[in-house]
Structure 1
Amino acid sequence: MATIRSLFATRLYRARLSEFGPDIDASELEGSCYSIAEDDEAGQEWCEKEGYPGYTSYASLTDLPWRFPIFGDLVKSLDQHVAAFAEDLEFELADKKLVLEDLWINILPEGGNHGLHIHPHSVISGTTYVAMPDGASALKLEDPRLGFMMAAPTRRKACREELKAFVYEAPAVGDVLLWESWLRHEVPMNMSEDDRISVSFNYKWE
């Protein structure tokens, strides 16, 4: 009898941020994101220069957890989520550990998007969601084998999730998603009239 197995799994971690403390007030976190965006002139200039819709602190602020206690609390929670995911991935970390490399705010207004990309030089990347109004875009994840499927027919529309070329993960406020940093992903256009707000981050092995 023939056997068929699934090989080379791509793992996606999803949990409530509150699963690991300390407790973080969502409205306070949202207010902090807007306050930082308003004061971050360097970040505003970078976004304008690079044509980034809305605001990101990616290229301007590298010390959010030090500047703002709420982001310090956020990192304490994220450290535990990342440790749980690393355990699921069965990483052999030896005498090293996964530590936060960078953490940044994303505010995408109506019509804003962020194209397909990876996070090089990191091990685990992720996002926690601060504001997801109706019509806000899901996270789009790309099958890492897609570029090698040179002559393959397309999949049936209702094929199993593990066989899809793209998976759309629709998070809720307070969710955290984690994936390995080599996995290509994007944020499609925000179709809501309100801002889609998230905090993204990378963890490195050292």
Structure 2
Amino acid sequence: MSTIESLFVTRLYRARLSEFGPSVDTNELEVSCFSIAEDDEAGQEWCEENAYPGYTSYASLTDLPWRFPIFADVVSALDQHVAAFAKDLEFNLDGRALKLEDIWINILPEGGMHASHIHPHSVISGTTYVSMPEGASALKLEDPRSGRMMASPVRQKDARRDLQPFIYMKPDVGDVLLWESWLRHEVPMNMSEDERVSVSFNYVWE
């Protein structure tokens, strides 16, 4: 009797940021993001020099949890989510922990986008969503095998979700998404007149 099974599964974790505690007020977090963006002249200059749409603190600030207590609460919550995801992935961490390496703010205006990319040298990456106005772009995830499919036919439009070449995840405010850092992803153009605000991060194995 013939059998077909799925191999080499790509996992995606989705939860409410405050599921394990502490509770994070997304309104306060949004105000903090805009306050930091307004004061971060180095970040503003980097964005301008690199034609980066909107604002990111990625290249300028490395101490958000120290600057604003609410970011310390975010990290405390993220630590628990990452531990849960690592358990699901059945990682053998050899007595060591996955630890936060980077955390940064993204403010994406109308027409802004983030091109397809991965997060090298990290184990788990993700984003928590602070403001997602109507029309704000979803997260686009790419099948990691796409570059090896060579002469493969395209999938049918109604193909099963686990066979689709791209998956679009539309998170809600207060959600957190986690994935393994090698998974290629992008943020398509923001079609909303309002800004899309998120906080992204990387965890490494130490």
Q: TM-score range by the shorter chain?
A: over 0.9
Match of 1:137 in 2: 137
- Quick one: which amino acid aligns to residue 71 of structure 2? F
Q: More deviation in 53-62 or 19-28?
A: 19-28
Q: Within 2, Cα distance between the matches of 1:2 and 1:19?
A: 42
Look up the match of 2:84: 84
Per the alignment, residue 185 of structure 2 pairs with 185
2:98 is the alignment partner of 1:74: no
Name the counterpart of 2:53. 53
The one-letter amino acid paired with 1:18 is: S
TM-score, scaled relative to structure 2: 0.99
Partner residue of 1:160? 160
Q: Deviations over 1:155-193 (max 9, x none)?
A: 000001111110000000000000000000000000000
Q: SS where residue 51 of structure 1 aligns?
A: coil
Q: CA deviation at 1:95?
A: 2.0
Q: Within 2, Cα distance between the matches of 1:42 and 1:154?
A: 45
1:27 aligns with 2:23: no
CA distance in 1, matches of 2:187, 2:198: 11
What is the CA-CA distance between 1:96 and the residue it aligns to? 1.1
1:67 is displaced (CA, Å) by 1.2
Deviations 1:64-109 (A, max 9, x none): 0111100001000000000000000000001211000000000000
Distance 1:179 1:71 in 2: 21
Cα distance in 2 for partners of 1:19, 1:29 equals 16
1: CA distance between counterparts of 2:168 and 2:23?
28
Aligned partners of 2:78 and 2:20: how far apart in 1?
8
For 1:65 and 1:18, how far apart are their aligned partners in 2? 16
Identity of counterpart residues, as a percentage? 77
- Separation in 1, partners of 2:95, 2:178: 23
Give the whole-Å Cα distance in 2 for the aligned partners of 1:200 and 1:156: 33
Q: What SS class does the counterpart of residue 2 from structure 2 fall into?
A: coil
Matched with 1:64 is: 64
Which residue does 2:39 correspond to in 1?
39
Q: State the 1:35 CA deviation.
A: 0.2
Q: Deviations over 1:34-91 (max 9, x none)?
A: 0000000000000001110000000000010111100001000000000000000000
Q: Which amino acid aligns with 2:12?
A: L
Distance in 2, matches of 1:42 and 1:112, equals: 20
Matched to 1:56, the amino acid is: T
Unaligned 5+ runs, structure 1: none
